[in-house]
Amino acid sequence: MSGRREIGSGVIVGLGVALPPGARQDELWKGYFAQHFSGTTRALAQRIFANSGVTRRHAAVNPLLEDVSDWPTERRMRRYQIEALPLGKEAVERALTDAGLRAGDIGLFVVCSCTGYATPGLDILLARDMGMAADTQRMFVGHMGCYAALPGLGAANDFVAARGRPALLLCAELTSLHIQPSSARVDTQQIVSHALFSDAAVAVVVAPGHRPGYAVREVTAVTDTSTADHMTWELTDTGFRMGLSPRVPQVLALHVSGLVTSLLARHDRQISDVDGWAVHPGGPRILNVVEEELGLPPEALAASRATLDEYGNCSSPTSLLILERLRRSAAPPRTVVMLAFGPGLTLYAVLLDLSSGAAPTGGPLPGEVGRGDY
């Protein structure tokens, strides 16, 4: 008997991207970070920035114009409210337009963010400002980090399958608010985070029925709690501080193959049946490990590497940026596996199938719809 799970599926029918202004990695290095690091730390930081796999990033708070590294957390959180609301609204408006729906049609609104806190939160303020119905249910997913979009998508899909109403997922991250104070002490983890992270907002509409788009077949996860200290995001008096162990790729190598092959087996698939991979680019080493452990050809992760190159690591929106790149390609893949990783250490995977009708092709890519450059 097949191990396939027959479950209800929603369909991703709309996706919207909003980006703050961008700058090249070399401009950020020369104009800010070369002075931010000193002594022997500077030479190490320069190598890490050069080998990050990032050419361009986006930031709501431009370090070339405004140094927030000594700001207290309270001031950073106030700025989060100012910047995140219009960015999230822009992404949501684009996703709803792409889906051909109105804000009042949404039955569940899920918001993911680990870079800022406000009460009332983005879920309440955006629901109010965009005219969502009073009975729209809301869910806020916080501090899951880079993989948050996938359980968020799972919650949206479960709601659609159970209630038969559309759901909306928004991932909005402003990592630029959390540059840490300069220090003479060598702190490789902080250098890596400063070299990789970026800002973005991406919204996704999941709807019932057989509309064109990507059907959500299953969301699954595995967590290795024995390595919980390998990835942390600590609240400090000067913003949120990243902890990122160099052993993270080794832990992923232990689990990623089993997670993916089990997911595919439940749907009578093999790795060779997957023609689209949206793998979160936590950094170049992460992508190399996934490629090796799954036995993928180099071109399989081209969309992930291109997203890292053009946008950096935007935390929770990143996997959705990769999905948008895939769905807007000349030949959208028919079967997509999304993979993302974060604190726990946790690995999440999603299986998507292209449903009836053609996915959107052509049109602007995410980098073409931002709000300008620095």
Mean pLDDT in runs of 10 for the chain (374 residues)?
A: 52 98 97 90 93 97 95 97 97 98 98 94 96 97 93 97 97 96 80 95 95 96 87 86 81 93 98 97 92 95 98 97 97 97 92 72 43 38
- In this prediction, residue 355 carries a pLDDT of 86
Contacts of 330 (CB under 8 A, 6+ apart): 361
CA-based nearest residue to 78, from 117, 123, 114:
117
Q: Which domains does the chain have, with CATH numbers?
A: 1-374 (3.40.47.10)
> In the chain, which residue ranges form alpha helices assigned H by DSSP?
25-28, 34-36, 39-50, 73-99, 122-130, 149-163, 188-196, 248-265, 284-294, 302-311, 318-327
- Cα angle, residue 228 at apex, residues 223 and 233 outer, rounded to 5°: 110
Peptide bond into 345 cis (omega under 30): yes
Of 334, 324, 335, 333, nearest to 362 (Cα)? 324
Angstrom distance (rounded) from CA 232 to CA 323: 26
User: 171: which residues sit within 8 A by CB, 6+ positions away?
Assistant: 111, 112, 113, 148, 149, 152, 200, 201, 202, 203, 315, 316, 317, 320
Catalytic residue among 112, 146, 171, 314: 146
Tokens of 280: 């979160």
Instruction: Kindly report the backbone phi and psi dihedral angles of residue 130, in degrees, each rounded to the nearest multiple of 5, phi listed first.
Output: -100, 0
314 a catalytic residue: no
Asked if residue 87 lies in contact with residue 113, where contact means CB atoms within 8 angstroms, the answer is no
Token pair for 193: 């985070």
Q: What pLDDT does 8 receive?
A: 59
Beta carbons within 10 angstroms of residue 131's beta carbon: 10
Cα–Cα distance, 202 to 318 (Å, whole number): 8
pLDDT of residue 362: 42
State the pLDDT at residue 29: 97
SS3 364: coil
Res 184: pLDDT:
65
Give the CA distances from residue 108 to residues 104, 134, 262, in Å, rounded to whole numbers and listed in that order. 11, 11, 30
Task: List phi, psi (to 5°) of 192.
Answer: -60, -45
pTM of the model: 0.92
What is the spatial distance between Cα 213 and Cα 315, in angstroms, rounded to a whole number?
Answer: 24
Q: Give bridge partners of residue 113 from the DSSP assignment.
A: 142
* 220 DSSP 8-state letter: E
Q: What share of the chain is helix, strand, coil (3-state, %, to 5)?
A: 45, 25, 35
User: Could you give the CA distance from residue 346 to residue 330 in angstroms, rounded to a whole number?
Assistant: 33
DSSP 132: -
Sign of CA dihedral 279, 285, 291, 297: positive
Tell the burial category of 173 from Cβ atoms under 10 Å away from its Cβ (0-12, 13-18, 19+): buried
- pLDDT given for residue 231 in this prediction: 76
Beta bridge partners of 241: 234
